[in-house]
Amino acid sequence: MTSSPSVHTVRGPVPVADLGTVLMHEHVFVLSEEFRRNLPETWDEEERVADAVTRLKALAATGATTIVDPTVIGLGRDVRRVALVNEQVDLHIIAATGIYTLADVPDFFRYHGPGTMLGGPEGMTELFVRELTEGIADTGIRASYLKCAVEAELTPGVERVMRAVAQAHLRTGAPITVHTNATVCRPPVHRARA
């Protein structure tokens, strides 16, 4: 007997057939951890978690049963916080791996990896594969898909992230989502001159 395909959620594997109504791009939290830590007056953890619980319960009451959360590194991803919210809400939350950048890679990767000052293998690929196969930040919560972004232009940093995402996809088979900006990424309009 063949088992039904499943997807990893914040609370563990769920059969695809049980996902129900899925919203494909819903961030539970988006923030800058660096600012949050250094400007603590701008963030009340208990209040923000309670607000997320209230909003997601209201969403679940509409009949939605699953959200796909594309919050990755660069958007303040904290799967521990999302798991805390998910303990209080009857909703499947699917996490992503990847790096959200508009131009350059985070400083760590500027110095580590192929062609950088310190060299070595592409650490982003290894990070993404680990988050898909083992879990995010030693939580055991596995990402189910890869995310990257091309918002303005294909800079060398954005291209490097996209290549790492593609390499992780080839190694794991995980699906990819690409965040784009239709007003920037569309072909230029050529107008006839009068």
* Pairing outcome for strands 145-150 and 176-180: parallel
Confidence of residue 171 (pLDDT cuts 50, 70, 90): very high
Nearest CA-CA partner of 160 in 175, 170, 150: 150
Model confidence pLDDT, tens digit, residues 91-139 = 999 999 999 998 989 889 999 988 889 989 999 999 999 999 999 999 9
- Tens-digit pLDDT profile for residues 134-150: 999 999 999 999 999 98
Please state the φ and ψ torsions of residue 19, each to the nearest 5 degrees. -70, -25
Between 3.20.20.140, 3.40.1280.30, 2.60.40.10, 1.10.10.350, what CATH number should domain 6-184 receive?
A: 3.20.20.140
d(CA 92, CA 107) in angstroms, rounded, equals: 33
Give me the pLDDT at residue 190, please: 53
The per-residue DSSP string of 114-167 comes to TTSSS--S-HHHHHHHHHHHT-STTS-PPP-EEEEEESS---HHHHHHHHHHHH
State the Cα torsion 40-46-49-53 to the nearest 10°.
Answer: -160
Bigger pLDDT: 6 vs 3: 6
Position 15 confidence tier, pLDDT thresholds 50, 70, 90: very high
CB 129 within 8 A of CB 169: no
Contact between 151 and 102 under an 8 Å Cβ cutoff? The reply is yes
Evaluate whether 93 touches 15 at the Cβ level (below 8 Å): no
Query: Quick check: 185 pLDDT over 60?
Result: no
Q: Six-digit token pair at 55?
A: 């909003």
Mean pLDDT score across all residues of the chain? 91
